[in-house]
Amino acid sequence: MRGGRAHSGGRAGPAESRMDREQERPAPSSPAVGSAVCEGVAAERCGGGGLAALPCAMRHLPYFCRGEVVKGFGRGSKELGIPTANFSEQVVESFPPDISTGIYYGWACVGNGDVHKMVLSIGWNPFYRNTKKSVETHIIHTFKEDFYGEILSIVIVGYIRPEKNFDSLEALISAIQEDIEEAKRQLDLAEHLKLKEDNFFHLPEGK
């Protein structure tokens, strides 16, 4: 992917998820963060079996995760013009097994750099018929350089829609652009903005 060189810092372990941090951080009281999405935009956009996915999508949110950025399929920038940062298989496998596949929004930070809005996909990307589940993060920011090997910290805040196939590459790109705009709108809400300042984004020394 295309991305910016993160601020200097060591390597973290392969993955650190919210489950690793439950002793450090009290669990949120009910799905307050993102609950409006369940009743609003996500419910309208899901359609079909999408509504059934909402409980599994929302019960784990906000979800905290960090891991090293690895090379992905190489099509985000080349084919879509929408670069993504990929987590390793080990990080993907650390996600809750019952978390719904689909498109989410939240916050992302490379190393100890600035925190930016992001949109993220969890699943198999039906358009490309992936055989392995992936977690791909599009950081809504223009970077100057690649940042493979750097540590990406994310907080997944809300759910937009389920995965689906598309008739054309153009239709896929259009849907992703809509997802990005929806992520921007949702992350401007006060209850979502507060997570941008979470201490999770301060990478510990030596990681």
Q: Going residue by residue through the chain, which has 207 residues, state the pLDDT in tens, using 9 for 90 and above.
A: 433 333 333 344 445 554 444 434 444 333 333 322 222 233 333 444 455 556 667 788 999 999 999 986 655 455 668 899 999 999 999 999 999 999 999 999 999 999 999 999 999 875 556 668 889 999 999 998 889 999 999 999 999 999 887 888 898 899 999 999 999 999 999 999 999 999 999 987 765
Of 136, 170, 191, 205, which residue is the catalytic one?
A: 136
Cα pseudo-dihedral 34, 156, 92, 68, rounded to 10? 180
Instruction: Give the separation between CA 58 and CA 99, rounded to whole angstroms.
Output: 8
Q: How far apart are CA 171 and CA 95, in angstroms?
A: 29
**Dihedral of the CA atoms 179, 16, 91, 87 (nearest 10)?**
50
22 in catalytic set: no
Extents of the domains making up the chain: 37-42+54-196
Q: How many CB atoms lie within 10 A of CB 58?
A: 20
Three-state DSSP class for 187? Answer: helix
pTM of the model: 0.72
Identify the CA nearest to 94 among candidates 44, 133, 124. Answer: 133
Secondary structure E strands in 8-150: 15-17, 63-70, 85-87, 102-110, 115-123, 134-139
Q: Residue length, the chain?
A: 207
Q: How many CA atoms lie within 13 A of 50 on its CB side?
A: 19
Radius of gyration of the chain (CA): 16
| CATH pick for 37-42+54-196 out of 2.40.30.30, 3.40.800.10, 3.40.50.10470, 3.30.1360.40 | 2.40.30.30
